[in-house]
Amino acid sequence: VQLVESGGGLVQAGGSLRVSCAASGRTASSYTMGWFRQAPGKEREFVAAISWGGSSTYYADSVKGRFTIARDNAKNTVYLQMNSLKPEDTAVYYCNARRGFSIATIERLEGSWGQGTQVTVSS
């Protein structure tokens, strides 16, 4: 599966932004989709994930209540709506696709990745 992110940009603290990830491939809609992020000088970290049917979602504690992940399988696209953004949310956001949905492994750095989109939150 190939992944292409879009929608990053610069936003003020407290603002909102939505990033998108378009997946290509015959079986794209059958993958668990997720978002990770990597800030300068830090390791890539898990943000959110959604099962292939959209019935299950999982969030990092740092974004719970502020970010919402959703998917449209008809468009093979997954979205991350980010509200109440903070400067510490500044990072490159990467789309991720993997088989299966397991809370035990969802934060692992595995599967397929997009090229990333920059999100910058100014204070």
CA distance 23 to 7: 15
> With 90 as the cut, is the pLDDT of residue 49 above it?
yes
* Confidence tier at 27 by pLDDT (50, 70, 90): confident
**Alpha-carbon distances, residue 91 vs 9, 27, 59, 87 (angstroms):** 10, 29, 17, 9
Torsion of CA 113, 91, 9, 74, to 10 degrees: 30
DSSP 56: -
DSSP 20: E
Residue 79, SS3?
strand
Give the pLDDT of residue 47: 98
* Confidence tier at 16 by pLDDT (50, 70, 90): very high
- And the tokens for 97? 């696709």
Each residue's pLDDT tens digit, 56-97? 999 999 999 999 999 999 999 999 999 999 999 999 999 999
The whole-number average pLDDT for the span 8-15 is 97
